[in-house]
Structure 1
Amino acid sequence: MEDEGGRSAPVRASVTRALGTLKREGCNVLLVGSEATSAHETVCRQFLGASAAEAPFRLFVRAVGQRETDQASCGPVDESETDRVQTIECASATLDPTTASAIGALGIEIVEAIDAFADSAAGGNSDGGLEPASLRVCVDSLGPLLEAYDAEAVFRLLHVTTTRVDQADGIGHYHLPIAPDHDAVSLLEPLFDAVVTVRTRDGADEQRWSLQEADAPTDWLAVSAGQRS
């Protein structure tokens, strides 16, 4: 039997299993979609987790450009938890496209922040560390970085970041508010477990997942403001 999107029950079941595995074991997700600010914000909150108990460690990387559309839309939900919630700011004015050292330093700062979270979670126990999905990373957005640096430099930064998130079994999502058929999406897609396209239709936020392990994307799914990963 096929659903309205033309997908058979086994395909739907396979996608459901893959999504469940990603949420349990951690993943890196590229979040794309232009002119969909509301949907980006809603899905961002979904990835960040419902509470500090569910996702006690949160890292925000805010790359802000000069254009109004480059302004970061996500931020810490509880800035009082400074030992478990960190924000790394990088504005276009501080990005130097003539040297790779600045973007390299950003990668080091991200890795060191996650290392500090892991040390905090271990509590001095060498066998301890971050529990699966307890680390949530939000990068908002990749647009200013792609404007300031060539795509290869951004690719290297994301390779370092996604690798460290994978090692921590964390859930990282990376905003890129452009169309899903943009060349940059094709270049960066191999680094991610999934690409999620978001849109707003008739006032409702929707998402569509394209998983590396699936042959076809999911149907458009409603995004509930209360839904969490």
Structure 2
Amino acid sequence: MTSELRFRGSGANPNFSQWLTDRKERGSNILLTGEVPDAVSARISRFLFGGDEPRRFRVLGLTDQSIRNAATRLPSDTSYNDPETWVIDQRRGERSVPASAERFARDSEPLETDDARQLCEEIQTAIRFYDERADGLAPAELRVGVDSLFPLLQEDRETTERVLRSLAAAVRGVHGMAHYHLRVPDDDPLVADLMDLFDARVELRKRPRRNPEQRWHAPDIDAVTPWMEL
């Protein structure tokens, strides 16, 4: 999904590079699958949130109580206090919102645990704020991450699927890039049930004594990349 991705081997679809470019320009919503350690989830999150050149606006939604260190989801040169970062932490009932966003956030309700509707509405508020601040966001300037979908789906699957459609449309509407963790095996039936909500998915794995790996699935061009180090 970024210019840093390079695919090697005969298994790569020759149309994949163009597909990546198109997704970056038009906006994308990516599902992350695989039962992997927390450190692997954090690594892919940092990768997809991107560095500071060019400028990025980042929105992070946290629901999963198993996350040990939420700050590791963000690039090392980014913090909760940056005005370009907006964090909604349902695990602790806390927000970290730019001071200049007061009029957008002042009417916010107390954060509830595992509330998909509220989380998606909060992320959409952040998107509107950054879109107005930038006077129109450039492609891939906005990055959104949700970690993870599993508690929301367990609490209310029907509502979660409904509001995810709305959130995905909001992300595409500003040509942003969003990633959503779902730590289940890639062949879990839940993945197939949800895939129509997303543009692609990234399958993750961590084998003993090896570095974490990723494999991209792009259903609309029927492409699957080889396994690559993350």
TM-score (norm 2): 0.78
Contact 1:206 1:222 in 2 (8 A): yes
Pick closer, same or farther for the CA change 1:42–1:106 going to 2, 3 Å.
closer
Q: CA deviation at 1:17?
A: 1.6
What SS does the corresponding residue of 2:54 show, helix, strand or coil?
A: coil
Distance in 1 separating the partners of 2:31 and 2:151: 15
Q: Which amino acid aligns with 1:24?
A: E
Could you tell me which residue of structure 2 aligns to residue 140 of structure 1? 147
Quick check: 153-162 or 166-175, which moved more?
153-162
Q: 1:219 to 1:137 in 2, by over 3 A?
A: same
> Offset at 1:4?
9.4
CA distance in 1: counterparts of 2:60 and 2:166, whole angstroms = 16
Alpha-carbon separation, structure 1, partners of 2:68 and 2:192: 21
Distance 1:146 1:55, change over 3 A: farther
Structure-1 residue corresponding to 2:91? 91
- Match of residue 23 from structure 2: 22
SS at match of 1:86: strand
Structure 1 residues 70 and 121: CA distance shift in structure 2, 3 A? same
Specify the alignment match of 1:74 in structure 2: 73
Does the C-alpha gap of structure 1 residues 203 and 38 become closer, same or farther in structure 2, counting only changes over 3 Å?
Answer: farther
1:156 alignment partner in structure 2? 162
Q: Which residue of 2 aligns with 1:194?
A: 200
Cα contact 2:43–2:73 (8 A) shared by 1: no
Distance 1:111 1:4, change over 3 A: closer
Report the identity percentage.
Answer: 31
Cα distance in 1 for residues equivalent to 2:158 and 2:180: 17
* Residues in 2 aligned to 1:212 and 1:205: alpha-carbon distance in whole angstroms: 23
Q: Name the amino acid aligned to 2:124.
A: V
Cα offset, 1:5, TM superposition: 6.8
2:126 to 101, 113, 116: 113
Q: Is the 8 A contact 2:171 2:177 kept in 1?
A: yes
Relative to structure 1, is the Cα distance of residues 130 and 69 closer, same or farther in structure 2, using a 3 angstrom cutoff? closer
Q: How much does 1:78 deviate? A: 2.1
Partner of 2:184: 178
User: What's the CA shift for 1:39?
Assistant: 2.6
Query: In the TM superposition, what whole-angstrom CA distance separates every residue of 1:165-210 from its partner, at most 9, and x where no partner exists?
Result: 0001001000111111112211211111101101123321111111
Change beyond 3 A, Cα 1:4–1:162: closer
Name the TM-score, length of structure 1 as normaliser.
0.78
Q: How does 1:2-13 map to 2 (within 5 A)?
A: 7=11, 12-13=13-14
- Give the partner amino acid of 1:131: A
CA contact (8 A) 1:60 1:137 kept: yes
- The match for 1:46 is 47
Is 1:209 aligned to 2:216, yes or no? yes
Instruction: Give secondary structure in 2 for the equivalent of 1:87.
Output: strand
Please give the alpha-carbon distance, in whole angstroms, between the structure 2 residues aligned to 1:29 and 1:106: 17
Please state how far the C-alpha of 1:75 moved relative to its aligned partner: 4.4
4+ residue runs over 4 A deviation: 3-6, 69-73
d(CA) in 2 for partners of 1:5 and 1:56? 32
* One-letter identity of the residue aligned with 1:17: Q
Runs of 5+ in structure 2 lacking a partner? Answer: 1-6, 94-111
